């Protein structure tokens, strides 16, 4: 490790949520923890000066207005915007991207083209898909080359119909930067250039004038600020030409019964009472962030990221998808047996290590990479070597436990064996129960014939397919999932009602049975939702 003059321990001491050293928070690309000054600013606003900004002449309203407008100035300074009027507060980065897609599309014609990339977060994809469908626009995508955005591939994609290019500055899944400067040089003048800086904002000095972008957006919560606040930057003349997504109070110049005129930016985009506490907290986050040396912080997290890549690359059971020196300090990996990813994420969670599992809101990217899920550890300046060690050691423990499970053999050929359910009930701890469920899941056969969209049970993090058939008044089930644990849990639930009549299913107390096994205490909400939607599906079948 290289030494730097940034002190991560001093940095960490400002974060109350990280006071417990047994916590290893490595999900910073999803959201960052908050320093005390941000929490205090939020609570100070509610403790003393609540008022509705821009809505009154009394001192409380004036103070709220001052809170918002001073933060606007700070934001403008932070990204070197021309002036504070170019900064719009939104609910999130997602809301900012929706404002752009829906507003800009109003002036587009059928056949016009929009260029995005394979790296985009769903927030910078779905709004464009919606407007493309509505207005018959064409979406084109910059491909990847060696795990990075291939900006040179923009050349053949650009045509005289290209109207908008909207690209992430930094991938939330792989952490790589998009070389926006190079890309910008290829774009024709008439083309609107949008930058999604949601990930880049905490890792790179963003200068909108240097980037020469028309619009840029990010969220406060990814840079130690509060949730529920996004920032939309736009060149002033572009913002004033853009129709707002929301209309109502606070954004108008004049209103009559039949029509209204709107204020200029930024207020034309801020209809409704503002989230002043969030803005106050974000001001504190900007002040906090500015105190620390960005280059050294970046060096620190890059060192940790390299270390994590180096250590994880020693496991032959695991594939790394991110590059060791990526901008956002992301460690993106998968077990070769992809169905175990979800179990590893659970195991890490049980050991106080928070990483993200799933598609990271980039499903097309995962399809390109041939993955159904990825694991992502994402590093922030408060992380230290012990967090990386905890991650690596827990991965090693998990993998060695898998070796043991591999050697255990199937006991019963009946997949929905009720005797097995009884054994699970008798398990003394969740760990033991989980192991039994995993073993059960491991021995459920793959059933390609039922892996069909109409048999998919919604609401579960993993795919779960169920085929239900009724013969002689009794129900029989076949199921499959892309995760062993889910196959096992579903087998357990289905074993309760295999061969039952509709009346018996209706009478069965699923909630009691699930509570008795304490299943929901140990399953992440996205998975316990899946369990409940399976139950709901069974109850609905029985009703028909």
Minimum CB distance to ligand PLP, residue 94 (Å) = 3
Q: Return the number of the residue (94 or 302) whose C-beta is nearest ligand PLP.
A: 94
Show the beta-strand stretches assigned E in 58-107. 87-90
Residue with tokens 């956002």: 328
SS3 51: coil
- CA dist., res. 279 & res. 275, Å (int): 6
- CA dist., res. 90 & res. 509, Å (int): 45
SS3 173: coil
- Residue 27 is given by DSSP the state B
> Alpha carbon of 155 to those of 4, 160, 179, 432: distances in Å?
40, 12, 14, 57
Q: Are strands 260-262 and 252-255 parallel, antiparallel or unpaired?
A: antiparallel
Minimum CB distance to ligand PLP, residue 48 (Å) = 28
361 included as an active-site residue: yes
Gyration radius of the chain over CA positions: 26
Where on the chain is the footprint of ligand PLP (CB under 6 A)?
92-94, 121, 123-124, 168, 172, 196, 198-199, 219, 230
Encoded tokens for 440: 């059960």
- Work out the widest C-alpha separation in the chain, in whole angstroms: 77
Minimum CB distance to ligand PLP, residue 123 (Å) = 4
Q: Return the number of the residue (123 or 318) whose C-beta is nearest ligand PLP.
A: 123
Pick the closest to residue 270 from 396, 89, 392, 99 (CA basis).
89
- CA dist., res. 15 & res. 100, Å (int): 34
Q: Return the number of the residue (64 or 220) whose C-beta is nearest ligand PLP.
A: 220
In sequence order, the β-bridge partners of residue 357 are 375
Minimum CB distance to ligand PLP, residue 169 (Å) = 8
Show the beta-strand stretches assigned E in 267-355. 318-320, 330-335, 353-354
Pick the closest to residue 26 from 322, 298, 390, 346 (CA basis).
390
Q: Return the number of the residue (211 or 542) whose C-beta is nearest ligand PLP.
A: 211
Minimum CB distance to ligand PLP, residue 172 (Å) = 3
Q: Return the number of the residue (198 or 280) whose C-beta is nearest ligand PLP.
A: 198
Minimum CB distance to ligand PLP, residue 369 (Å) = 17
> Alpha carbon of 534 to those of 440, 466, 490: distances in Å?
18, 9, 8
φ, ψ at 135 (rounded to 5°): -110, 10
Q: Return the number of the residue (168 or 436) whose C-beta is nearest ligand PLP.
A: 168
Minimum CB distance to ligand PLP, residue 213 (Å) = 15
Active-site position among 93, 217, 332, 361: 361
Q: How far apart are the first and last CA of the chain?
A: 64
Q: Return the number of the residue (379 or 416) whose C-beta is nearest ligand PLP.
A: 379
Minimum CB distance to ligand PLP, residue 246 (Å) = 16
> Alpha carbon of 119 to those of 115, 174, 360, 453: distances in Å?
12, 8, 11, 25
- In sequence order, the 6+-apart residues with CB closer than 8 A to the CB of 87 are 72, 75, 76, 81, 231, 232, 233, 266
Q: Return the number of the residue (173 or 443) whose C-beta is nearest ligand PLP.
A: 173
- CA dist., res. 279 & res. 68, Å (int): 6
- Catalytic positions, please? 361
């Amino acid at each position: 490790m290289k030494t730097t003059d940034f002190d991560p321990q001093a940095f960490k001491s400002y974060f109350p949520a990280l006071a417990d050293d047994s916590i290893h928070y490595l999900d910073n690309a999803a959201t960052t923890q908050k320093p005390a000054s941000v929490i205090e600013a939020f609570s100070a606003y509610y403790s003393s000066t609540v008022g509705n900004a821009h809505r009154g002449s009394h001192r409380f309203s004036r103070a709220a207005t001052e809170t918002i407008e001073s933060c606007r100035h700070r934001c403008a300074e932070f990204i070197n915007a021309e002036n504070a009027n170019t900064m719009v507060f939104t609910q999130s980065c997602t809301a900012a991207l929706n404002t752009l897609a829906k507003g800009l599309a109003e002036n587009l014609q059928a056949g016009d083209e929009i260029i995005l990339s394979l790296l985009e977060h769903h927030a910078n994809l779905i709004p464009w898909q919606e407007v493309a469908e509505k207005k018959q626009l064409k979406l084109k995508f910059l491909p990847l080359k060696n795990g990075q955005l291939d900006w040179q591939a923009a050349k053949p994609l650009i045509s005289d119909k290209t109207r908008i290019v909207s690209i992430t500055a930094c991938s939330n899944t792989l952490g790589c930067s998009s070389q926006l400067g190079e890309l910008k040089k290829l774009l024709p003048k008439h083309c609107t250039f949008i930058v999604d800086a949601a990930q880049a904002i905490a890792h790179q000095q963003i200068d909108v004038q240097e980037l020469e972008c028309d619009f840029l957006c990010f969220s406060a919560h990814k840079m130690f600020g509060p949730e529920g606040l996004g920032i939309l930057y736009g060149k002033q003349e572009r913002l004033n030409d853009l129709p707002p997504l929301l209309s109502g109070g606070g954004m108008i110049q004049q209103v009559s019964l039949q029509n209204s005129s709107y204020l200029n930016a930024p207020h034309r985009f801020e209809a409704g009472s503002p989230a002043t506490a969030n803005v106050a907290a974000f001001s504190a986050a900007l002040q906090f962030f500015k105190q620390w040396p960005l280059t050294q912080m970046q060096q620190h997290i890059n060192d940790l990221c390299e270390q994590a890549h180096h250590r994880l690359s020693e496991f032959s059971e695991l594939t790394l998808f991110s590059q060791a020196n990526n901008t956002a300090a992301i460690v993106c990996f998968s077990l070769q047996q992809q169905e175990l990813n979800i179990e590893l994420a659970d195991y890490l969670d049980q050991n106080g290590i928070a990483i993200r599992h799933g598609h990271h809101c980039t499903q097309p990217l995962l399809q390109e990479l041939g993955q159904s899920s990825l694991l992502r550890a994402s590093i922030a300046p408060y992380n230290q070597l012990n967090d990386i060690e905890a991650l690596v050691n827990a991965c090693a423990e998990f993998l060695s436990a898998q070796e043991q499970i591999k050697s255990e053999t199937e006991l019963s050929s009946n997949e929905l064996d009720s005797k097995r359910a009884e054994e699970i009930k008798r398990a003394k701890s969740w760990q033991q129960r989980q192991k039994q469920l995993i073993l059960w899941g491991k021995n459920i056969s793959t059933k390609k014939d039922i892996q069909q969209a109409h048999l998919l049970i919604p609401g579960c993090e993993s795919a779960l397919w169920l085929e239900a058939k009724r013969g002689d008044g009794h129900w029989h089930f076949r199921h499959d999932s892309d995760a062993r644990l889910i196959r096992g849990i579903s087998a357990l639930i289905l074993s309760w009602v295999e061969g039952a009549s509709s009346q018996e299913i209706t009478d069965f107390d699923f909630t009691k049975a699930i509570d008795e096994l304490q299943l929901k205490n140990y399953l992440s909400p996205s998975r316990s939702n899946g369990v409940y939607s399976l139950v709901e599906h069974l109850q609905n079948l029985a009703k028909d």
